[in-house]
Amino acid sequence: MVASKKQVKAVARTIRISPQKLNLVAETIRGLKVDKALAQLTFSRKRAAVDVKKLLTAAIANAENNFGMDIDNLVVAEAYVGKAMVMKRWHAAAKGSGHRILKPFSNLTIVVKEAEAKKETTKKEAK
């Protein structure tokens, strides 16, 4: 958990899913407000959405409890996926040979930050 310039991050390591599949889910929440991102993940049909939602709630809790940020103003600044280890397994094949099975793991990082309040301009200020 690092807080710099009002940003808080949460990291999940060695999630048992391929980085490509996990990135599809991470793409859907980038730049969204936290409440909309949670709703998006709740109703997603992807298996990876469960892990992403769990990490997003952890990032929200870090921001609220450790740094006193307001939950209503939080936005998903970054959500990126990295490659972790790959388990290698063998599957028996014809004529005494074997085929390789790769079981990839991923790392997921979610960074949330407080959205800057938009300054409302009235007609008097605009003149």
- pLDDT tens-digit profile of 22-49? 999 999 999 999 999 999 999 999 999 9
What pLDDT is stored for residue 116 in this prediction? 76
Scanning the structure block, which residue is given the tokens 């740094």?
Answer: 67
Confidence band (pLDDT; 50, 70, 90) for 1?
low
Tell me 16's DSSP state. S
- pLDDT tens-digit profile of 49-87? 999 999 999 999 999 999 999 999 999 999 999 999 999
pTM listed for this prediction: 0.83
Confidence band (pLDDT; 50, 70, 90) for 120?
low
Report d(CA 123, CA 127) in Å as an integer.
7
Cβ neighbours around 26 below 10 Å, total: 23
Helix 19-29 and helix 48-67: axis angle, to 10°?
50
